[in-house]
A and B are shown apart, each in its own frame.
Chain A
Amino acid sequence: MLTHFINRGNKSTKLGFGEGLLEAAILNERVVAIGADITASVGVDLFASRFPERFISLGIAEQNCVGVAAGLALSGKIPVFATYGVFSALRTTDQIRVSLCYNRLHAVIGGAHAGVSVGPDGATHQALEDIAVMRVMPNMTVLSPCDATQARLATMAAIQQCRGPVYIRFGREAMPDFTSVEMGFQIGLAQLVHEGSDIAIIATGHMIWEALQAAYELEKEGIHARVLNIHTIKPLDETAVVIAAKECGVLVTAEEHQVAGGLGSAVSEVISKQYPVPIEFIGMNDRFGESGTPHELMQKFGLTSGDIIKGCRKALGKKK
């Protein structure tokens, strides 16, 4: 068994994003950031106060923000633009498709307020379709880190290592911070965070913590669940997914996103072609979120460790 992960304290992935942006900006003066009014709410305030001359305020005009990012990228800058994912990925989809992706420009688009864990703001502000829309864009890289520490590393990697457009999603609520810098972060390489070969839980974002809790519970019953952290939705680590299917024989995916088009779909696309095994999906099922506390909403929509355990039992029942 690998590390037994412990929560060092709750921290939002949005803060991790803000710290990663600041750190990358200290290392590379080409990094510039675009603000669409809600900079503090998406973690960009750290950068803006440190580098006011490299911060570009464009107001509540997300379509323009993406186009401007394209122009900056064409002129030698590494632009980072973050706002709520419902706006940065969805309102601007055409700009991302043509100005960024078709032009293969290195810009980092941050999508905050991912998932229902946004809480009381309700459905309009809970990004649940961003992974689906971003991952179908040619040339796009899609990152979905699992905690604040990983969000920081992912953001730095998106800025320093990528050559094309990157979408990185992160949450609002302070959630367990449990990964370490030593674990590293390599785009496109899934992380094995819990060993086991009875079943594999393939998860992303906040659901990694829930998946780990589920695995620890199942362990007590003698069920050894593998947990794969898919922090990179695209390019998906197909090898890790197929090996999990082969070695475990049954899969459960877990995400704070619509199952349709999200991680569940991405994993299905791979295994249905390369190594079909029974699969269960934990995620949003073709519906909008609503108001409530993050915890209440995760429960209501079946996104807790308990729901993952239920999913595992159901999946194990189908195992040949």
Chain B
Amino acid sequence: MCYTLTNDLEKLGLLARAIRQSVVRSLAEAGSGHLGGSLGSADIFTTLYFSVIRHTPDEPLWPGRDRFILSIGHIAPVLYATLAEAGYFRKEELLSLRKLGSRLQGHPGRDHQLPGLELSAGSLGQGLSVSVGMALALKMDRLDNRVYCLCGDGELQEGSVWEAAMSAAHHKLNNLTVIIDRNSLQIDGSTEKVMALEPLKKKWEAFGWQALECDGHDFRSLLPAFNKARMELLHPSVIIAKTVMGKGIASIEGDYRWHGKAPTKEQAVAFLRELEGGIQNIEH
């Protein structure tokens, strides 16, 4: 049976918070990893896994499932936290992140048999091509499953992304939706300084895509974008979701230095308290 999806904004907010907390806990325990993008895309993941994607956590390989491809493997912590939140595995396992023998590899690896994981990925610029292949196969088989692919904005500097973009439009893959985590940051700083991406929407439109923009932290903005993508009949859709790296922790929001950093255990205590609204004890 398909997982029950929700449009309840309050519920989604609570789920997003729980996912952020899991991200902070697992990264603090791992001692390394990418906090900024994981927190910044938590609302996108929440929308995808609890409002948009048809999936069955107790039957991860259900053929009727929509496919979610994480192209930016480095934000694996938020994918893992989301999968655990959805019930693919127990949340305790999140604390094994990046450790020897863990199913939760630093970048996702299918060899390690984590349920719900569709693709081993980590080398930027490949996920969209894989998604195109999936969308093509589904069309060939006349199936209506949809393919969702999350890309980073810095990742769009990889030329192969645009090869894939061209091919998706050429083959009219309206069953494909790409979400871009548009936090305007990458490891060296502002994307516009490292290698400018703007005008980004126009680029995608010129490549033959339906390009939508939304607030990547507002479910009321995210949900209609996904609906609009689903309704499109001729073109693949891209949702450029404006986000803030590190969202949810005021002291690190928008700070590119948190792209590839994990919090110390002391920092994690403070971060968790902040996420909880300072009310509850964050011990687990």
Interface residues of chain A, those whose CB is within 8 Å of chain B, are: 32, 53-54, 56, 58-59, 61, 63-64, 66-77, 79, 94-95, 97-99, 102-104
The reply to whether A94 and B123 form a contact with Cβ atoms under 8 Å apart is: yes
A68 pairs with B120, CB closer than 8 A: no
In the complex, per-residue mask of B107-138: 1 if CB is within 8 Å of any chain A CB, else 0: 00111000000111111011111111111111
Among the 9-residue stretches B9-17, B94-102, B160-168, B270-278, the one with 4 or more Cβ atoms under 8 Å from chain A is: B160-168
Measured between alpha carbons, how far is A59 from B160 in the docked complex, in Å? Answer: 13
For A63, the closest partner residue in chain B by CB is B160
Q: Is B140 in contact with chain A by the CB < 8 A criterion?
A: yes
B90 CB–A CB distance under 8 Å: no
Q: How far is the CA of A175 from the CA of B136 in the complex (A)?
A: 37
How far in angstroms is the closest Cβ of chain A from B111? 7
Contact of B160 among A95, A97, A104 (CB under 8 A): A95
B166 touches A75 (CB 8 A): no
- A103 (CB) vs chain B CBs: closest residue: B120
- Least CB distance from B156 to A in Å reads 14
B112 to chain A, nearest CB (A): 11
Residue pairs across A and B with Cβ atoms less than 8 A apart, 12 shown, are: A59-B163, A63-B125, A67-B132, A68-B167, A72-B133, A74-B130, A74-B137, A75-B134, A76-B141, A95-B160, A98-B126, A99-B119
Q: Which residues of B contact A53 (CB under 8 A)?
A: 140
Are B160 and A71 interface neighbours, CB within 8 A?
A: no
- Measured in the bound complex, the distance between the Cα atoms of B111 and A58 in whole Å is 29
- Beyond A54-B140, A71-B134, is A66–B111 a contact (Cβ under 8 Å)? no
Give the chain B neighbours of A63 by CB distance below 8 A: 125-126, 129, 159-160, 163
Majority SS of interface residues in chain A? helix
Choose from B120, B122, B136 the contact partner of A71 (Cβ within 8 Å): B136
**Is B193 an interface residue, CB under 8 A from the partner?**
no
Q: How far is the CA of A64 from the CA of B71 in the complex (A)?
A: 14
> Measuring CB to CB, which residues of chain B are less than 8 angstroms from any residue of chain A?
109-111, 118-123, 125-138, 140-141, 159-160, 163-164, 166-167, 170-171
Is B140 touching A104 in the complex (CB atoms < 8 A)? no
State how many angstroms separate the Cβ of A264 from the closest Cβ of chain B. Answer: 30
In the complex, the chain A residue whose C-beta lies closest to that of B137 is: A75
Shortest A281–chain B CB gap in Å is 34
Known A67-B133, A104-B111; 14 more pairs at CB < 8 Å: A53-B140, A59-B163, A63-B159, A67-B128, A68-B133, A71-B129, A71-B135, A72-B133, A75-B134, A94-B123, A95-B129, A98-B120, A102-B120, A103-B119
Given the known inter-chain contacts A98-B126, A103-B120, please indicate yes or no for A71 contacting B132, CB distance below 8 A. yes
Residues of B contacting A64 with CB < 8 Å? 129, 132, 160, 163-164, 166-167
Q: Which residue of B lies closest to A68 (CB)?
A: B133
User: How far is the CB of A56 from the nearest CB of chain B, in Å?
Assistant: 6
A69 to B164, CA, bound (A): 12
Given contacts A61-B163, A98-B122, A99-B129, contact A71 B109 (CB under 8 A): no
Q: How far is the CA of A302 from the CA of B118 in the complex (A)?
A: 48
Give chain A residues whose Cβ lies under 8 Å from the Cβ of B134: 71-72, 74-75
Docked Cα-Cα span, A73 to B110, in Å, equals: 14
Residues in B with CB closer than 8 Å to A102 are 109-111, 120
A56 touching B171, Cβ below 8 Å: yes
Docked pose: A64 CA to B136 CA in angstroms: 13
Min CB–CB distance B216 → chain A (angstroms): 25
Contact status A70-B136, CB under 8 Å:
no
Q: A32-B140, A68-B129, A71-B129 are in contact. Are A58 and B118 (CB under 8 A)?
A: no
A95: nearest residue on chain B (CB-CB)?
Answer: B126
Distance, CA A103 to CA B160, complexed state (A): 19
Q: How far is the CA of A63 from the CA of B162 in the complex (A)?
A: 11
Of A70, A73, A76, the residue contacting B129 (CB under 8 A) is A70
When the two chains form their complex, are residues B121 and A98 in contact, meaning their CB atoms are under 8 A apart? Answer: yes
Contact, CB under 8 Å: B133 / A70: yes
B132 interface neighbour in A54, A68, A94, A103, Cβ under 8 Å? A68
State whether B120 touches A66 (Cβ < 8 A). Answer: no
A180 to B49, CA, bound (A): 55
Nearest 4 A/B pairs, CB to CB: A71-B133, A67-B129, A75-B137, A64-B163
- List of B residues within 8 angstroms of A79 by Cβ: 133
Shortest distance from the beta carbon of A108 to any chain B beta carbon, whole Å: 14
| CA gap between A60 and B277 in the complex, in Å | 53
Cα distance A227–B137 in the bound complex, in angstroms: 44
CB-nearest residue of chain A to B165: A64
